[in-house]
Amino acid sequence: MSDVDAEEFKIVFTGPMGAGKTTAIAAISEVEPVNTEVENSDRVANAKESTTVGFDFGRITLADGSIVRLYGTPGQPRYRFMWDILGRGAAGVIILLDASEPGALVQLDVFVDAFLPHVVHGALVVGVGRTDLPDSQGTDAFAARLDARGIVAPVLSVDVRRRADVTMLVRTLVCILASHATHGAVA
């Protein structure tokens, strides 16, 4: 993005419960992240101690001075109404998935279907965690799933606890947005 494009825009982190949205935002936010975590009342579905019920919020500043507002969605489908609210006006979406989850490919479809309609020109990046665990899906499986749907998007292996990995996801998405802007595609 050029200096002329320096502005404020919104990136949404989404994915199922436990994929690392809250952790990812905390890893890169320049401000103390805001989160709406509460005790997880459904430990049968996910052993995680807490879960997001509203949204997470953080902020970063790009080299060109643009401010990026980072929003994390709740991962549970019962909070889907928040997905629509948070998806509105998003410049791009980062879908986080846990490759060790047996239903991760189906979860990819759920979040693509929920968020792609909100994103101008389909600016989407997929971050896949825990690819190193036994019986995990590799990033190629996620890329093939997107390809089968006619969706072209980067699929990257990440550890959301690592600032460098989360920054890579955001930079990749910003490059996609800049490419659209360069080619006159972004309104």
Q: What is the pLDDT of residue 53?
A: 60
**CB 124, CB 130: distance < 8 Å:** no
Q: Measure the CA–CA gap between 83 and 76, rounded to whole angstroms.
A: 10
Please give the structure tokens belonging to residue 172: 């990749």
Nearest to 142 by CA among 161, 124, 160, 119: 124
**CB 170, CB 27: distance < 8 Å:** no
Q: How many helices (H) and strands (E) does the chain have?
A: 5, 8
Q: What is the pLDDT of residue 78?
A: 84
Strand-by-strand arrangement of the 56-61 sheet: 56-61, 67-72, 8-14, 92-98, 124-129, 155-157
Q: What is the pLDDT of residue 187?
A: 41
**CB 57, CB 34: distance < 8 Å:** yes
Q: Measure the CA–CA gap between 166 and 76, rounded to whole angstroms.
A: 22
Q: Measure the CA–CA gap between 113 and 118, rounded to whole angstroms.
A: 10
Please give the structure tokens belonging to residue 101: 């989850």
What is the per-residue pLDDT across 115-143, written as a single tens digit (0 to 9) for each? 998 887 679 999 999 999 888 999 999 99
Q: Measure the CA–CA gap between 9 and 68, rounded to whole angstroms.
A: 5
Residue 142 has phi, psi (to 5 degrees) of -70, -40
Nearest to 154 by CA among 179, 117, 118, 182: 179
Instruction: Quote the strand ranges of 25-135, DSSP E.
Output: 37-39, 50-52, 56-61, 67-72, 92-98, 124-129
Positions of the chain with pLDDT lower than 50, given as ranges: 1-4, 185-187
Q: What is the pLDDT of residue 185?
A: 47
pTM of the model: 0.87
Domains in the chain with CATH codes: 3-180 (3.40.50.300)
